Amino acid sequence: MGGRTTAAVAALLALAAVPMAAGPVGAVPARAATDATGYAFDPAARPVAAAPDPGGAAALAPGRTYRSTLTGRGPVWFRLDLDGTSNAYVSATAVPPADGEVAASDGVKVSVQDADGHACSYDTRLFGASRSPHPVTAWGARESGVKGRSVCRDAGTYYVAVERAGRATATTGTPRPWQLELTAATEPPLAEAGPTGAPGDWDSASPTPPAGAPKAREGGAGFAGAPLVGEGAWQTVVRPGQTVYYRVPVDWGQRLSAAAELGGTGERRGYAVDALELALYNPVRAHVADVGAGYDGTRKATALPPLPPVAHRNRYATRDAVAGMRFAGAYYLVVHLSERVADRFGTGPLPLTLRVGVDGTPGPGPGYAGRPTPGDAFRVVSRGGGGDDGVLRAVAVGGIGTGTLLLAVLGGWTLLARRRAGQLRASAQNPTA
């Protein structure tokens, strides 16, 4: 009987390891096997050499994803060849070795410069107080229509510098390489001039997370493999040191909210600082907001700050949490559980629940004078009709399907553990010679 139970559980686990068949909408994108970093790079990513100086920089084509390496302490360089009207965005996800050590002030920096070395933008993302190695994503932009700016407006060659922040820039010796995933995108100008100031009249009250029992939905191990989720509660398990990704479609005029809940272990064994991190990135992987929570073995929850409805004019705000909500499309919820949780609570998985809200009626876009690159950027894609309702119905069906499988696997493990415990008790009561 024990052998048949073990075989059944093994079969369920094998099924769980097989990606679900891709549906028309809401299916998990093609997955790449995770490497030693624990991050699943886009399987379509093209290798690109990281140049030590701008003169040898390789071009990043908008609409494509690239993979490279960040070595040494100085910046590495890439190139963007841009027209004089589009806005251009680039992101760099730096992935340190999973067994490496990082300080709170370590991280990655991205800047975009024109041919004369004038800075168009810069961004720095750090590992923070958890000191847990995990993917960190910074972004840069060349915005051609920034009022009052005389640089970074013309067509021509622009350069992207990616470098480490913090301790790695000051230590002696050569630090271990970090892997890089890079993306580039362009946004056309508006057909007609719109407002050039951020809206100031949106409801900034904290939203109430959706209630109810969660559906099981396994998270992706990278941006490219992030499964689609809509409004509702979604549950998975997460281990110390693991980062999971989800995509949420948010249309023009809609407002996103999200909260993360980490289950308890049943006993307290100390405290882990910034154990749970929830971050939001927009469709070009630009940082919007992040929150963190410590962990003491009891259930903990944290929620993103109030976010405005998606609007083109949000870009004129000074706060990331407003400026980042500048276009429709797939937003990314990224959750990291610090590896330091394992020091006090063990390496076993903990239940993670995401509560996602998408409020408001989808509205028309701002009226672009052209198409972005990639072509489906900055809009909610719904294949086969049905609008957002079709997207979310597909998400619900996919969530129920994968949830049933996940619950079956967990149930199989529970059944096996109970039977083994019963067998041990029986052996103790009736020992054999």
Last residue of a domain, one of 189, 224, 250: 189
Q: What domain range is 52 assigned to?
A: 42-189
Q: Could you tell me the CA-to-CA distances from 49 to 67, 70, 79, 139, 301 in Å, in that order?
A: 9, 10, 11, 19, 41
Residue 7 domain flag: no
pLDDT digits (tens, 9 = 90+) for 226-272: 999 999 999 999 999 999 999 999 999 999 999 999 999 888 888 99
The whole-number pLDDT of residue 268 equals 82
| 3 alpha-carbon distance from chain centroid | 40
For residue 181, is it within any domain?
Answer: yes
Residues 400 and 301 in one domain: yes
Report yes or no on 34 lying in a domain: no
pLDDT in tens, 370-409: 999 999 899 897 533 343 344 444 343 333 333 434 444 3
Same domain flag for 282 and 379: yes
Mean pLDDT, the chain, whole residue set: 82
Q: For residues 249 and 396, state if they share a domain.
A: yes
Clarify whether residues 132 and 106 are in a common domain.
yes
Compute how many other C-beta atoms are within 10 angstroms of the C-beta atom of residue 284: 24
36 occurs within a structural domain: no
Whether residue 214 is found in the same domain as residue 113 = no
Cα–Cα distance for residue pair 80/242, rounded to 1 Å = 33
| Residue 422 domain flag | yes
Strands of 296-366, DSSP E: 300-303, 329-337, 350-359
Same domain, residue pair 137 and 230: no
Asked if residue 350 is part of any domain, the answer here is yes
273/16: higher pLDDT: 273
Residues 151 and 182 in one domain: yes
Does 22 reside within a domain?
A: no
Take residue 319 and report the two structure tokens written for it: 């706060």
Which of the four pLDDT bands, split at 50, 70 and 90, describes residue 358? very high
Tell whether 37 is covered by a domain: no
* pLDDT attached to residue 220: 97
pLDDT for 59-118, tens place per residue? 999 999 999 999 877 999 999 999 999 999 999 999 999 888 899 999 999 999 999 999
Give the domain CATH number at 242: 2.60.120.380
Number of domains within the chain = 2
Length, in residues, of the chain: 433
